[in-house]
Structures are given as structure tokens and as C-alpha cells.
Chain A
């Protein structure tokens, strides 16, 4: 098959294409198990294989995909034909940033392949967790396990050949209950990534037992709590909500295709302009953010992106100043040409596709915030006069240019004069992105830093779901409106 693919790439290039690549997925497997109130509602497995072909012709892309490997000629011809049509409407002829041709491989680190674990053992884990969560106050118990395994072989007309073998494990616990007004509340646990691996060995039963008991306890506190007040306070965001704040208002805002207007018809744009790089004060000096695809144990690390560019660790925001973006080969060339200066020094290796039948687009890797010097969570609370500690993503809604946002959280703890005083329910906060990050007044130290995963980031048309990560410390922001 390798030789056939390379021969097809050579053929379309000799037919006039200036570039072509192919991603062949010999196998992609997933396994989803959901136990809901003791019922194994979903026990499913899936397997797929196929190929996606991307052809660049006269400055335009054509893409085609199929699960049928018996007609590679037809598949490559269709991609070239699609590119020929696209070439009839070109405003900036696509060109690709330089890269080295590589012959390489990447395997995500794991000790135990979750697909080797018997179903009985997996179901046994779900059952044990379900029983743990079956406590007074809990009306709904949801335990989930998702496993993914994919093999990707990448070839391009510049001579790169890359094989990737990636395994991911995504577990979660959730509980819901009803308060005296008949309103539902929820508390969830998705474990932070610990250690250096990503396999079945990351399912730590002791940790899940402890955290399961915690979310039940906290749910019951929320059920009896007063509503969140509507006022301005300092908000102290734990990693369980700060990861999403970062995801939505730093990560998506700094995807270069959004900045250049390629998502304006759907997902939206960005308030960031090309003139902002190196100049814009995105946040206070306490804010340093980076796109780090070299974190070993995160789904945001994949060795090489789907342009064949190696994973990298790049600054996005340096002590509050915007310095970088999430980029692929196409967009950096267009950005530099549009700005008439070299803003970006090559691709940052962040062009990824969710499946063989989708085209690569700029996606987050691990969008992390560096730990700060403001101590532990306890230190930050002690140094807060009037605040609220927030955790758990319940609802999120962001303006189309990522300029403003509204989040609801699962739980809030009011802070008065340096001490937690009470739990509140229906906690929300909202703000304008730049004003909010410039009000960043404390960043926790390494003891507060956690690597959270995202297994369902949506973007693009046709839509793509991507897996990635966020390494996040506790952060405090001042004068934020809560409770609306």
C-alpha cells in the first residue's frame, strides 16, 4: 500500500498539482462505555479505516476521502478535480511554509493498551464507581469510559513519511441532584493527567474513589446552598474551570485561521489582528501562556501534525504580551504576506484533522498557562478580600470574535476577608476577554497546576472533534461580575 500511495502522489503532481499528501488510517478504534444509574446504557465499539487525500493545485486545495481502498486512482483524481474547481476562485494563492522532509514515527506513551483489557474488567470498574456514587441526594449517576486507538500513516510529495500510533483514555464521573426548588445541579470529575503515560494504567481506582466521594459531598452542599449573589467580586478559578476559560478565550482566539477570517462564516473570528503580535497587552504581567505539544501524557501531544511538522513548545503570551499563535503551514505564509513582515517563523505544527475523512485545520495542542509565584490555593484565598472560588464547567458561551464570554460553574465558594464562608449554587461569571485577563491578579504555584484534557473540541465545516490538553494553575481575576 505504501508504494501505491506514493505512486498516486507522484501521479497527481505530474498532472499539475504542486503538492499532495495522503493520510491513511489502517485502523482507528474506539470503545465507549456509559453506565447511567446502574444501567449500562452504552457499550459500544467502533472501527474504521480509510484515506484522505489533499491536493494543492494553482493555489487552491482539493480534498477527497474514502473508506474504499480499492480505487486509489479515483480518490486522488477526485481531490485533484476538487482543487481545479477551487482554483477558479482564488484570492490569495495558497503556498506552504518551508519544512524539512522527515521519515519518522511517534507512539503515545502507554504501559497498558486499554483495548487489551477484558470488557468484564471495564464494566466492573463502572459498576464499582456507580455503587460508590449511589448516595443520598444523588438522583443521576453517570460513569463513562472512552478509549481510542489510531494508526495514521502520512505521506507527502515533499518526501515525508510518518507513522503515528496514538492511544487515549478518557474517564469521567458525574452526579446530579435536585434542590428544594426542583432545579437540577451537577458535579463532575474528569481526572487531571498524572505521570508520563496515557494508557489503562492511568485509571487509578483509589483516586476515583476519593474524587467520587468528593463530588457527592459537594453536590449535596450545592443542593442546600443559597443562590450566587449578583455583584462584582474577585473570581478564583480552579483548573476545573480555568482550563475552559483558557480554551475559549486564549486557545480559540489565537488560532491563525480564525484571525485571518477563515472561520467567519461559522465558528467566528478573533478580536486579535496581525498587528497585535508583539504589541497587544493581552493580560497582566502574571499571564504567560504557551502552546506545548511536547507534554508526554496529553492528547494535545501527537509527535507530528498533519502537515508533517514536528510538535513544538511555543510561547503565545509572554508576561501579558501577545507573541504567538496556533499555526499551520498555509496560514503562516498568508499572514506574513498580508502583514508584509515575517510575524511567524514557520509553522508551529498545529494543523490536525479529526479523521481520515476530514481536512487538517489549525487546532489547539496543549494550551497551557505557566505556574506563577502567588503560592498555593490556600495562599490565594487568604489574600483575597471579597471573592468567589469557582469550579466545574456547567455552561459556556463566547462572543463570535472571542471578545466576551459567559460561564456557569457547578459550584462556588464565597470568600470573605481571606476565608471561605459558604457554598453557593447557580454560580456564573462573565466578562470582556482583554479586560478580564488584564485583571489577573494572582497565579498559583506548581502545586496548583493541573493538566486537564478536552476530548470534544469542535471546529470547522465539515465539523471536526479534536482531543487536546490544558496545563493550568489556579488564577484569580479582580472585579468580575458574577451571578447573572
Chain B
């Protein structure tokens, strides 16, 4: 199973997106500042955007989906029941998974953005995807919600999971690290080796790195374990 972006270019005025990389099964974390091109990467990878040059190629990818940053865009049903059915998942199970047990007859627009985001992600995580692209999956979520999403991402690592985020504190267990910098996609490598080369590393990771301590991965437990090592 492989997702290849072969010499891909996409232009928006003077801004240019460039990528020439391959994604294999596992969790790929794509970090980068706001406006660096993470959403463009997500759209191109999902083949929702046609590149101006190059090609986006799928190998043995039979199912793929993308979760937009704003969950409202995905709404097509007038109740959570209809909404869950539109994803082909069991409505009561989806509600329960999102912490909305028994609220299946509610209007999706009456939920807070955080609740809606968690519900939409829960629906996606209830299915198996060869290619799962999550654009800013942690936005609008509280700490508990972010940890729940991290757990679910970990359960889906048999396929290619692309997580683009600028989240600084709660991150999923990651196999490969990527960076988007002014439109250019750069592979930093597998974890934990990639951490030393991570230019836009979050504050806690930078602090640990400065102390000469490299966490085994990016989960909250890994960071806490590394903090303990710092005092050894």
C-alpha cells in the first residue's frame, strides 16, 4: 500500500506547493505553521485537488477519506442518526463513542463545534480506511477529546494515516515525521530519530531536546517519561 506524490506542484498566485514523496502504512504526522500548505497536502493526497504538475498515485489503496478541519462541511443529515448512517456506521454506537449516547435524534447543528468534531471523527474511526487523512483533527477539542482521537489514530495504523496539525501538546503515537515549510513538504524520518531534525517542534519537545533528552515518541506519556529522564 502506497501513496506517492510524484513531483507534485500546485500554485495559488505567487504561493507554490511542492512535494515529491511517498507515504507507506503507519501514522504520518505533518507539522507546520498556519498557511504552510498542510491543507493543500491533505486535499491533493485525497485527490480532491488536481496538481498543476506531477501526479498523485495510489497503490493498493481501495478506500480513502479526509476529515476537514471544520466538521460542519461534512453534515448532510438533519439528525445525528442520519449523519452516522451517511458514513455507513451504527448511529447509536457512533453517538456512544463520541460521548453523545442517547442523543441520536438531535440536530447536528445544535452541537458545539467540539462535540460535532468528535462525532464526525468517531464515525470515520468506526470504519477501516486504507488512506485516512485528518486535517487538524485536534482543533476545537478539549484535552479528553484530543486523547481519545490519539487513541483512535493508533488503532488505525494498519493503513496510511496522514495527520496534519499544528497541535503543540497532545499528539498521537507517530511512525513518521514530516514538515511543511512555505509550501515544501520535507521528510524528517522515522521516530524517534526525526525529533532531532524537527524544525517546527512543539515547545515541550524543543525544551527536552535542548536538555539533551529525546522522547521515544510524541504521546503525552512519552513526553512525561522523557521529562523524568531529564532529572536522572
Chain A partners chain B: no
- B residues near A, CB below 8 A? none
